[in-house]
């Protein structure tokens, strides 16, 4: 029983300190080439990222529309047209060498 309590407390502590509890970290998955093929989901996640950055005063609200338009254009012109995005594997490739 003590072991079970220990494992529960350990798991709770790890989850508490995990960056995944922050929405901005979860939404950064829109920058994963494998996820860029779902344009609607990526734009939604990018919008959440930008809203978080506005709240933290890292980005001016006036710039966000331009950022979203550029990201939308990138998804249309690059991510959705190249099969490399569908076939990207982090086990075999690195994102910084991807393009």
Q: What is the mean pLDDT of each run of 10 residues along the chain (99 residues)?
A: 74 73 85 84 94 89 90 82 69 66
Per-residue model confidence (pLDDT) at position 47: 94
Classified as helix, coil or strand, 82 is: coil
Per-residue model confidence (pLDDT) at position 33: 80
Per-residue model confidence (pLDDT) at position 43: 94
Report field, pTM of the whole predicted structure over 0.75: no
Q: How far apart are CA 58 and CA 50, in angstroms?
A: 9
Per-residue model confidence (pLDDT) at position 86: 67
């Amino acid at each position: 029983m003590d072991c079970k309590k220990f494992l529960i407390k350990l798991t709770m502590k790890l989850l508490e300190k995990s960056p995944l509890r922050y929405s901005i970290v979860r939404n950064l998955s829109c920058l994963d080439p494998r996820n860029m093929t779902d344009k609607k989901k990526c734009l939604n996640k990018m919008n959440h990222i930008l809203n978080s950055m506005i709240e933290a005063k890292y980005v001016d609200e006036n710039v966000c529309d331009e950022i979203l338009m550029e990201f939308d254009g990138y998804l249309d012109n690059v991510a959705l047209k190249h099969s490399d995005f569908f076939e990207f594997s982090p086990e075999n490739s690195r994102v910084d060498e991807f393009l």
